[in-house]
Copies of this chain bind each other. A is one copy, B any other.
Amino acid sequence: MGTGRLESFSDGVLAVAITLLVLNIAVPGLNRTANGATLAHHLASQWPVYAAYVTSFLTIGIIWINHHAMISRLARADHSILILNLLLLLTVAVIPFATSLFAEYLRADHGAKLAAGVYGGILLAMALAFSALDRQMMLRRPQLLKDELSLEQRRRILARARAGLIPYVIAAGLAAVSPYATLVICLGLAVFYALPVASGIGI
């Protein structure tokens, strides 16, 4: 099976997930802003929503870039590739929920660490699914690749995908210490991958 519809379906899911994130940004109700507190105050006070939004948007965007690069190496896909790709899309599709949970609880007295752990954990699951798909392509189904790559080359590509796991392990783990640490690492990571210096570095 060719990769055309695999790409088009994946693009669709990634595009919908990245755009649905905006539904998490609430417009303060007129009645809430009527009682003294100004709209400016309300908009400013929901900064965790914006921070989580930008983090998730950039992260999904970068996953798209990396997914694009990964799939472009495939000449065709088999059942195992399609299913692993579906699992990757599942982890991306729940990011809007995790983002909303994280933003809602970041400054709460209780639950903030758990919410940060869920957020970091879902990004980690996404990176794990990405690695699993890469491993399937590089080690188990090299015959599906467009170009013949040496085992050495394939191992190097996979090692790069796996190195991308480490920061997410740290981000999820640090949630037990401080939810802000998780936010800073995830946002910093997304910004880093967007920099010119990160061109060609997979998540």
Q: Which residues of A contact B (CB under 8 A)?
A: 1, 5, 7-9, 11-23, 25, 27, 29-30, 33-34, 38-40, 43, 53-54, 57-58, 61-62, 64-65, 68-69, 72, 78-80, 82-83, 86, 89-90, 93-94, 96-97, 100-101, 104-105, 108-111, 114-115, 118, 194, 196, 198-200
Contacts and interface: CB of A to CB of B under 8 A. Distances in A.
Given A15-B16, A100-B27, A114 B39 contact: yes
Chain A contact residues: helix, strand, loop or mixed: helix
Given A5-B11, A9-B14, A80-B196, 7 more contacts: A12-B16, A18-B93, A19-B93, A30-B108, A34-B110, A43-B114, A61-B83
Contacts of A29: 104
Nearest to A94: B22
Contacts of A114: 39-40, 43
B194 A86 contact: yes
A93 B21 contact: yes
B79 A200 contact: yes
Given A27-B100, A96-B22, A199-B79, A90 B33 contact: no
Nearest to A21: B93
Given A27-B100, A104-B27, A11 B14 contact: no
Given A54-B90, A111-B38, A200-B79, A19 B16 contact: yes
Contacts of A78: 199
B22 A18 contact: no
A32 to B, nearest CB: 11
B80 A61 contact: no
Contacts of A53: 94
Nearest to A199: B79
